[in-house]
Amino acid sequence: MPRYAALIYSDADTEGQGSPEDWQAIMDEYSAFGAEAGAAGVVLGGEALEDTDTATTIHVEGGKGGTITTTDGPFAETKEVLGGFYILHADDLDGAIEWAAKIPGAWHGRIEVRPLLEFEE
Amino acid sequence: MSTGVEEILRVEGGQVLATLIRMTRDFELAEDAVQDAAIEALDRWADDLPANPGAWLTTVAKRKALDRIRKESRRVDKETEAVRLLDQGAATDDGGDDRLRLLFTCCHPALAPDAQVALTLRTIGGLTTPEIARAFLVSEPTMGQRISRAKKKIKVAAIPYRVPADQELPERLDAVLAVLYVIYTTGHHAPIGSARGRVDLEDEAIRLGRLLALLMPDEPEAHGLLGLMLATSARRPGRMAPDGSLVLLEDQDRTTWDADLVAEATAEVNSAMQARRVGSYSLQAAVALEHSSAPRYGATDWTRIADLYGLLATVDDSPIVAVNRSVALAKADGPAAGLAVLGGVNGVDGWHLYWAAKASFLEELGHGQDAIEALDLALDCPMNDDDRALLEDRRYRLAEPERR
């Protein structure tokens, strides 16, 4: 059964905004999703991420062992930021889309669904 | 190599490929296996044509697929797994048509629209990548990359291979219809018989449309789309003058039109119009058929066409439909009626046919100068060369009396 990452993106402008009540409402939506998806055995894992202003981007210049450059902020300065992810187990892409559409981020922002690269042992 | 065998291969090939894709879940492998089987068929069939060529091809292609898996897999367990998959794939045959499943896979919304079109022509239509590249005026490497990216995504992201369930069918069927219609209109607007060896996308779309209507007989819009394409193509022989310029509907020689296609279109439109809620393709088909079945331009039933556009406006609230309705109303009830409808249309300032319609109404009402101004605005809009030539000609003829 293929595994998918459901990457949760939200608008950079609204990151960290909103009243505590708004925040609580969204958390409640995520709890509801977690309960439903957990009962269905779809979610294999997932985490929420701190805001992008806590992100550090690392690049090694000149190949392995080269100079490490670190940059403050996320890799791509885009309007939409990655806020968290789930790892989903689904029969096929339609199944993954069906569950991704239930993640609250799907209406607060966007969900990018990507198949996991499965390495052969 | 007899052309008879090649024709059978072309006719049966699509079905065999679709079945192999279901069994292997691997476009590349399925294509290679069918190719191998076709080579063997060319070799053997010349002397001994099997009673059921499709079944023969499927059996041989399945064997070829296994051969390829054996050759490519270095480990025994991997091969066993592949064989198991293939048997399992064979067992998933629920009696449904593999080509229909494949069509829905190729037109899956997770693929980009241009990839959907290319993949449909490649796998269901059986066209080669160079043929598709030529038809869409892109380079062969670009088209090849587009198709292989789509195949890779189907495999890696596990885009399913099935006809969608009832609740998702309307939306998914719309995507399939849209792909066929894009293929059709691309062919329709292309110069006929220009580049040698160019495939006829108009015919190809009709072939796919017939297949879809056959496989989904209970879907009115499948009949509607087919009817629309047939009714439009019936007029193809009269569409172009010997010098290659477009001939207006009113000036076309209707004896050149294809009566067989009109008859087929009529049957499709009749079945499409039985639906409880008649869809957009069906209504457009009914309009096209009114034109194609009128014995003379003067005998066109403009009142009926205006009514059909009125119905179309309830399912497709676009300014294009409104402008078309105004033209039909003007023919039925006079230019003032057309102008009145145009007055309520918004968002069409950049569309040349809006200004062209307005110019006609104004000219008929005797406002020559206003008509010329409308044509000037039309000529400021983007359009293809044929339309521009027609509009410039009209502008010239309208302005002529002033010069005298």
> Which ipTM was obtained for this model?
0.79
The answer to whether residue B331 is domain-embedded is no
User: Cβ of B108 under 8 Å from any chain A Cβ?
Assistant: yes
Residues of A in contact with B164 (CB under 8 A): 94
Residue-level pLDDT at A77: 74
Residue-level pLDDT at A62: 87
Three-class SS of residue A40? helix
The answer to whether residue A83 is domain-embedded is yes
pLDDT tens digit string along B224-280? 999 999 999 999 999 888 887 788 899 999 999 999 999 999 999 999 999 888 999
Residue-level pLDDT at B403: 55
My answer on whether B53 and B101 are in the same domain is no
Calculate mean pLDDT across residues B135-147.
92
Binary contact (A94, B157; C-beta < 8 A): no
Contact criterion met (CB below 8 Å) for B256 and B238: yes
More confident residue, B74 or A107: A107
The answer to whether residue B235 is domain-embedded is yes
Calculate mean pLDDT across residues B282-308.
97
My answer on whether B203 and B155 are in the same domain is yes
The answer to whether residue B250 is domain-embedded is yes
Of the pLDDT bands very low, low, confident and very high (cuts 50, 70, 90), residue B75 is low
Calculate mean pLDDT across residues A55-83.
85
Binary contact (A115, B159; C-beta < 8 A): no
The answer to whether residue A50 is domain-embedded is yes
My answer on whether B253 and B289 are in the same domain is yes
Binary contact (A93, B156; C-beta < 8 A): no
My answer on whether B18 and B41 are in the same domain is yes
More confident residue, B304 or B88: B304
C-alpha to C-alpha distance for B238 and B242, rounded to whole angstroms: 10
User: Cβ of B112 under 8 Å from any chain A Cβ?
Assistant: no
Least Cα separation, residue A68 to chain B (angstroms): 33
Element spanning A21, H or E: helix A20-40
- Test the A interface: residue of B105, B156, B161, B162 with most A CBs within 10 Å: B156
Chains A, B: CB contacts within 8 A come to 25
My answer on whether B124 and B187 are in the same domain is yes
Of the pLDDT bands very low, low, confident and very high (cuts 50, 70, 90), residue B362 is very high
The answer to whether residue B342 is domain-embedded is no
* Domains: count for chain B: 4
Element spanning A99, H or E: helix A93-100
pLDDT at position A45 over 80: yes
User: Cβ of B22 under 8 Å from any chain A Cβ?
Assistant: no
Average pLDDT, chain B: 88
My answer on whether B9 and B74 are in the same domain is yes
Least Cα separation, residue B164 to chain A (angstroms): 10
Residue at which a domain ends, from B156, B189, B216: B216
Calculate mean pLDDT across residues B283-306.
97
My answer on whether B116 and B210 are in the same domain is yes
More confident residue, B308 or B384: B308
pLDDT at position B74 over 80: no
User: Cβ of B158 under 8 Å from any chain A Cβ?
Assistant: yes
* CATH number (domain holding residue B1): 1.10.1740
User: Cβ of B152 under 8 Å from any chain A Cβ?
Assistant: no
pLDDT at position A56 over 70: yes
* Domains: count for chain A: 1
Calculate mean pLDDT across residues B295-309.
96
C-alpha to C-alpha distance for B17 and B21, rounded to whole angstroms: 6
* CATH number (domain holding residue A55): 3.30.70.1060
Percent of chain B with pLDDT over 70: 91
C-alpha to C-alpha distance for A39 and A31, rounded to whole angstroms: 12
My answer on whether B83 and B175 are in the same domain is no
Of the pLDDT bands very low, low, confident and very high (cuts 50, 70, 90), residue B344 is confident
The answer to whether residue B296 is domain-embedded is yes
Of the pLDDT bands very low, low, confident and very high (cuts 50, 70, 90), residue B49 is confident
The answer to whether residue A121 is domain-embedded is no
Domain that holds residue B104: 95-216
The answer to whether residue B323 is domain-embedded is no
Q: A46-55, A68-77, B180-189: which range is least confident on average?
A: A68-77
The answer to whether residue A111 is domain-embedded is yes
Element spanning A29, H or E: helix A20-40
My answer on whether B242 and B132 are in the same domain is no
Calculate mean pLDDT across residues B386-397.
90
pLDDT at position B387 over 90: no
Calculate mean pLDDT across residues A57-63.
86
Of the pLDDT bands very low, low, confident and very high (cuts 50, 70, 90), residue B193 is very low
Residues of B in contact with A97 (CB under 8 A): 110
Longest dimension (CA), chain A: 48
Take residue B263 and report the two structure tokens written for it: 């008859």
Residues 217-276 of B with CB under 8 A from A: none
Binary contact (B158, A93; C-beta < 8 A): yes
My answer on whether B124 and B186 are in the same domain is yes
C-alpha to C-alpha distance for B253 and B234, rounded to whole angstroms: 12
Taking CA–CA distances from B111, the nearest residue in chain A reads A93
My answer on whether B121 and B188 are in the same domain is yes
Phi, psi of B358 (to 5 degrees): -60, -40
Domain that holds residue A20: 3-115
Calculate mean pLDDT across residues B338-365.
92
Binary contact (B158, A97; C-beta < 8 A): no
My answer on whether B79 and B102 are in the same domain is no
Least Cα separation, residue B156 to chain A (angstroms): 7
Least Cα separation, residue A75 to chain B (angstroms): 25
Calculate mean pLDDT across residues B69-78.
72
The answer to whether residue B339 is domain-embedded is no
pLDDT at position B331 over 50: yes
More confident residue, B1 or B218: B218
Binary contact (B157, A91; C-beta < 8 A): no
Q: A82-91, B367-376, B392-401: which range is least confident on average?
A: B392-401
Of the pLDDT bands very low, low, confident and very high (cuts 50, 70, 90), residue B93 is low
pLDDT at position B191 over 60: no
Residue-level pLDDT at B1: 44
pLDDT tens digit string along A91-115? 999 999 999 999 999 998 899 999 9
The answer to whether residue B326 is domain-embedded is no
Least Cα separation, residue A6 to chain B (angstroms): 12
Phi, psi of A82 (to 5 degrees): -75, 120
Least Cα separation, residue B175 to chain A (angstroms): 15
pLDDT at position B79 over 90: no
